[in-house]
Amino acid sequence: MDLYNSATHRKQPLRTHTPGRVEMYTCGPTVYHYAHIGNLRSYIMEDVLEKYLRYEGYDVHRVMNITDVGHLAGDTDTGEDKMLQGAQREGKGVLEIARFYTDAFFDDCRKLNIKTPDVVQPATGMVEDYIRIISTLMDKGYAYFAGGNVYFDTSKLEHYYVFHDHDEQDLAVGVREGVEEDANKRNQNDFALWFTKSKFEDQALKWDSPWGVGYPGWHIECSGISLKYNGEYLDLHCGGVDNAFPHHTNEIAQSEAYLGHPWCQQWFHVHHLNTNAGKMSKSRGEFLTVSLLEERGYDPLAYRFFCLQSHYRKALVFSWENLDNAATAYQKLIRRVAALQPGDGPVDEEVVRAYREKFIRQVGSDLNTAQGVTLLYDGLKAQANAATRLAILEDFDQVLSLSLLEKGAALREEQARVQAAQTQGGYTVTGEGDPEIDALVQARGEAKQAKDFAAADRIRDELKARGIEVTDVPGGAVWKRI
Ligand code: AMP
Ligand code: ZN
């Protein structure tokens, strides 16, 4: 596949250290709050990338950290510890917060069909490894001890900036958030590898180290975790573009200084989800979560569909109107899949293979997911029987993960149920899968059939008060949340 590489600033064929295998690393969430749908845009696109590589036949080994210590409010070692902020906000312990938001993150991922990486490693579980790496950096003269902390000395490197073609505004995000200067640093870009109480007297999580009781910096966590699980040669590193500087820049600095050879070949950066107010952020302004989308009646996969419609290297503007358009298109797509009756003959494997080749050619060009979505529509119109067309969609869905076949089949069954009920003169309730509401709508229908209109109206009012809209259809009713 061809992929844009932020380190070389051009699109190039993916090359891996071991042919056929991709060692892939993803910066995981900082678990002091729910992930917002901007974070999840990054995880959706990284998920599609991983699945695409598997689709092409690569053996992918994907590792992700969970940041549960060391990430300060300003990405340049300034401000408060984010985990501590979360714990204080909720009056709970740091580990309790970490556990809660880690689970919440994976719940969101499940709803968005984001696969869990092969390895998920909380940062707090590997402190000994960071200490070992920092000790080596000290021995090699790349790190120094000042004011109780250990810093990486960026002046020891020939090249420090790697990703300088990114939008300056994106790069500045982390820097802007914190304002105070750290007087211990010899150079402005030096960054902390290890903090002691000089930084936070009351840090909840701390470990013994050769430099005093303290805790690791955020950047060393990702290097340490990747080196342990991906090995010394990383093929593909992913993250949101806000992390290119300083986080990824620092990961490269310390990993290569430690290893003494080039570390990661390919850098994949997902651009931001923005609102009218700018980048969606956990620390500033209103942010939207998957639960909120659900409360508003959206299928989380409609958000996935929305993300797939645009390229990962372009900022994506979120608005309810844009999401509505995507949700409508997604529902239409499901209806078209439902209209295909499977089992109408053998699958024409030749046709499926031809579509697969097209998909690889087009989506494999810098992960063109919008083209992947277009190919779904082409597949629906393929000159072949329904079974073949469904097979094409099933094949593409290995990468796009929109659950099209499952949802199509469920809708087909529901339609069949309603039809059967109509022919039997029964009363069928169709809704969003809430048994309590189903029962109320059913009771209303039966009251109407029994001509008890007062009771039927009473139930309708109660449903209305709960935000449920009921539409009568032949042989039953359909309800939805408004
Ligand atoms: P965090 O939980 O803050 O460590 O961020 C998790 C991931 O989300 C990182 O890869 C960030 O770069 C990414 N990210 C943060 N904000 C956005 C946004 N508005 N749009 C897309 N990705 C983002
Ligand atoms: Zn990272």
**Cβ-based neighbour number of residue 1 at 10 Å:** 16
pTM score, two decimals?
0.86
Instruction: Average the pLDDT over 78-89 and give the result.
Output: 83
Cα(42) to centroid of ligand 1, in Å?
7
272 lines ligand 1 (CB under 6 A): yes
In a 10 Å sphere around its CB, with 0-12 CB exposed, 13-18 middle and 19+ buried, how is residue 36 labelled?
buried
With a 6 A CB cut-off, is 38 part of the ligand 1 pocket?
yes
Return the pLDDT at 206. Answer: 87
Domain boundaries, the chain: 2-270, 295-406, 426-481
- Residue 240 CA to ligand 1 center (angstroms) comes to 5
On whether the CB atoms of residues 277 and 38 are closer than 8 A, the answer is no
User: For 174-178, 354-358, 390-394, which range has the lowest pLDDT when averaged over its residues?
Assistant: 174-178
Question: Among 6, 25, 39, 176, which is best to mutate for testing ligand 1, by the most ligand atoms less than 8 A from CB?
Answer: 39
Ligand nearest to the CA of 25: 2
Closest by Cα among 69, 130, 125 to 254: 130
**CA 193 to centroid of ligand 2, rounded, Å:** 13
**Residue with CA closest to ligand 1 atom 9:** 240
Residue 343 has pLDDT above 90, yes or no: no
Ligand 1 mutation target, pool 36, 42, 288, most atoms within 8 A of CB: 42
What is the reported pLDDT for 180?
Answer: 58
The atom of ligand 1 lying closest to the CA of 29 is: 2
Is 309 touching ligand 1 by the criterion CB < 6 Å? no
pLDDT at 417: 81
Phi, psi of 473 (to 5 degrees): -130, 165
- Whether the pLDDT of residue 311 is over 90: the answer is yes
- CATH domain 295-406 topology: Four Helix Bundle (Hemerythrin (Met), subunit A) (1.20.120)
Ligand having the closest approach to the CA of 223:
2
**Which atom of ligand 1 is found nearest the CA of 273?**
20
Average pLDDT value for residue range 309-316:
97
Pick the ligand that lies closest to the CA of residue 42. Answer: 1
The CB-based long-range contact list for 204-209 (8 Å cut-off, 24+ gap) reads 204/83, 204/84, 204/87, 204/93, 204/94, 205/69, 205/83, 205/94, 205/95, 205/124, 207/127, 207/131, 209/131, 209/134
pLDDT of 134 strictly over 90: yes
Burial class (CB in 10 A: 0-12, 13-18, 19+), 271: buried
The third-level CATH classification (topology) of the domain covering 2-270 is Rossmann fold (3.40.50)
Q: Is 39 near ligand 1, meaning CB less than 6 Å away? A: yes
Q: Residue 202 has what pLDDT?
A: 66
Amino acid at 22: V
Q: How far is the CA of 39 from the centre of ligand 1 (A)?
A: 4
DSSP state of 67: B
- Choose the weakest-confidence range: 59-73, 325-339, 354-368, 414-428: 414-428
Residues 423-449: tens digit of each pLDDT: 666 777 888 888 889 889 989 988 888
Query: How many other β-carbons are positioned within 10 Å of the β-carbon of residue 337?
Result: 26
Q: Is 243 in the pocket of ligand 1 (CB under 6 A)?
A: yes
Q: By alpha-carbon position, which residue is closest to atom 6 of ligand 1?
A: 29
67 pocket-lining for ligand 1 (C-beta < 6 Å): yes
Tens digit of each residue's pLDDT (9 = 90 or more) over 31-69: 999 999 999 999 999 999 999 999 999 999 999 999 998
